[in-house]
Chains A and B, each alone.
Chain A
Amino acid sequence: MKVGVLGVGQVPFTGPNDIPMGELGGRAARAALADAGIAASEVGMAAVGSVYEHPSVGQRVLLQLGLNGIPLVNLENACASATSAVIDAVRWIQAGEADVALAIGVDKMASHYSSGPLPLVNETDTFGAQGLTVPAYFGLIAEKHMAEFGSTREDFARISHKNRTYAEQNPFARFRKAPSLDEILASPVIATPIGKFDCCANGDGAAAVVLCSEAYARRHAAARVVWIRATELGGGVLGDRLDDDPMTGLARRAYERSGIGPEDIQVVECHDNFSIGEFEAYERLDFCAHGEGHLYLRAGKSAIGGKGAAFNPSGGLLGRSHPAGATGCAQIGSIVQQLRGAAGPMQHPGARAGLVQTSGGGVMELQSNATTVVILSL
Chain B
Amino acid sequence: MEKDTLLLLLEECKQGKRTAQKKLYDAYKGRMFMVCTRYAKSRQEAEDMMIEGFGKIFANLGSYNFKGSLEGWMHRIMVHNAINTYYANIKHNTTVEIEEYTEDVPFAYNANDITYEALIELIQELPEEQRVIFNMMAIDDYPANSVSENLGITLTMVNKQYEKAKKQLQHKIAKLML
A binds B: no
Which residues of A come within 8 Å of B, CB atoms?
A: none
Which residues of B come within 8 Å of A, CB atoms?
A: none
